């Protein structure tokens, strides 16, 4: 019977020494490690490592006392149930990850500036949302179900700690449930009863799944195509402006993707702020960083309120740098000197 047990334990993931040691520990109860080594026919020089492995698996507890450590078996019905749940969770996660990656290889479409792929499972979509949050450096928009916030909260807080400007739109018709949550003070939070799942991180990562009937399973679109992620950002303005305010950010954001966001946030006080711009020269495509004081700001039509609800046709900044004046446009700028990938304002209130 002991040999059959050892074989069974090996089939579920333990190695031979671990299997022998656990069977012996269950059979004889609490015992010192040298004695357990003899009972399990495990080399004395290996027993400490083996018992440490069993402890990490939750199969035994190690008690200090006397002249030698004792291995105390955890009741098998408890230990094996916990081990099964952990292993099933790990296997499910591995399968999900492999399926996700294989589907990307199968259905991913390469574009000139990134990839586009479709993902069907909600868990896989959520995993891409987490990757998008991790990828953000400048500006992050999230429109996600309230039920997802608990799993995403640590990732969102980490993004805030990196200095990322975060807008969080929670999809829920339960005002009290949203009010009961706590959010990082630097995050602007709004609520809307119905909205698509939409995530746009800089122009590096985007996730979109259209709102649909509960009876309809809609695939999610995942992309790193800069043009598509830019469209996600523009689409997000419609969500944001029509949503109920839950929390305003405790201080003005410092990082932006484009000049119009800077102008929208700073309003009449745009001129005079110090800006650091990362981007590329429109004439050469060369990537660089520019720093200087904002001496002019152009926005047409002018932004009169945060609720204006549109992306201006023209928006640009002019910086006075150590090497001269530089005009800055958005990511798709052609006539300005610089197309901005990100803008940081260093002296906001």
**Interval 118-175: pLDDT, tens:** 887 787 888 899 999 999 999 999 999 999 999 999 999 999 999 999 999 999 999 9
Residue 199, beta-bridge partner list: 142, 207
Is the bond preceding 211 in cis, omega lying within 30 degrees of 0?
no
Task: Report yes or no: 308 and 267 within 8 Å, Cβ to Cβ.
Answer: no
Q: At what angle do helices 76-107 and 122-135 cross, to 10 degrees?
A: 80
Q: For residue range 171-210, what is the model confidence (pLDDT) as tens digits?
A: 999 999 999 999 999 999 999 998 889 999 999 999 999 8
**3-class DSSP state for residue 30?**
coil
Closest alpha carbon to 271 in 312, 320, 225, 200: 320
The answer regarding whether domain 255-345 maps to CATH 3.40.630.40 reads no
For the domain spanning 108-247, the CATH number is: 3.30.870.10
Least confident span in 225-229, 292-296, 322-326: 225-229
In sequence order, which ranges of the chain are alpha helices (DSSP H)?
Answer: 2-11, 16-28, 33-40, 44-56, 76-107, 122-135, 149-161, 175-179, 226-241, 259-266
| The pLDDT of residue 349 is above 50 | yes
| pLDDT at position 307 | 45
Q: Are strands 220-223 and 205-209 parallel, antiparallel or unpaired?
A: antiparallel
Q: How far apart are CA 64 and CA 70, in angstroms?
A: 7
> Chain-centre distance of CA 317, in angstroms?
31
Residue 32, beta-bridge partner list: 70
> Domain coordinates of the chain in residue numbers?
2-82, 108-247, 255-345
The CATH classification of domain 2-82, taken from the options 1.10.10.10, 1.10.1840.10, 1.10.357.10, 1.10.1740.10: 1.10.10.10
């Amino acid at each position: 019977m002991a040999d059959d047990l050892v074989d069974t334990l090996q089939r579920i993931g333990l190695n031979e020494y671990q299997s022998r040691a656990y069977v012996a520990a269950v059979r004889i109860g609490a015992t010192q490690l040298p004695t357990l080594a003899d009972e399990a026919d495990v080399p004395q020089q290996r027993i400490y490592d083996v018992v440490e492995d069993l402890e990490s698996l939750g199969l035994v507890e190690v008690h200090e006392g006397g002249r030698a450590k004792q291995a105390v078996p955890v009741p098998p019905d408890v230990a094996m149930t916990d081990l099964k749940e952990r292993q099933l969770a790990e296997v499910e996660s591995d399968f999900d990850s492999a399926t996700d990656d294989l589907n990307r290889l199968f259905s991913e479409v390469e574009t000139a500036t990134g990839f586009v792929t479709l993902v069907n499972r909600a868990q896989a979509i959520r995993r891409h949302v987490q990757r998008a949050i991790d990828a953000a450096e400048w500006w992050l928009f999230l429109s996600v179900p309230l039920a997802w916030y608990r799993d995403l909260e640590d990732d969102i807080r980490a993004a805030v700690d990196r200095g990322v400007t975060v807008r969080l739109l929670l999809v829920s018709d339960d005002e009290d449930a949203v009010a009961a949550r706590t959010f990082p003070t630097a995050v602007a939070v709004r609520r809307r009863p119905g909205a698509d799942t939409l995530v746009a991180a800089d122009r590096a990562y985007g996730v979109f799944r259209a709102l649909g009937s509960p009876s309809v399973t809609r695939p999610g679109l995942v992309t790193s195509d800069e043009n598509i992620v830019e469209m996600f950002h523009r689409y997000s303005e419609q969500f944001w402006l029509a949503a109920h305010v839950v929390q305003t950010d405790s201080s003005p954001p410092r990082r932006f993707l484009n000049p119009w966001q800077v102008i929208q946030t700073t309003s009449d006080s745009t001129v005079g702020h110090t800006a650091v711009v990362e981007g590329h020269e429109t004439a050469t495509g060369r990537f660089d960083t520019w720093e200087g004081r904002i001496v002019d700001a152009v926005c047409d039509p002018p932004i009169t309120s945060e609720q204006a609800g549109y992306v201006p046709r023209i928006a640009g900044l002019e910086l006075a740098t150590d090497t001269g004046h530089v005009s800055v446009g958005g990511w798709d700028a052609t006539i300005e000197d610089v197309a901005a990938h990100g803008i940081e304002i260093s002296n906001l209130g």
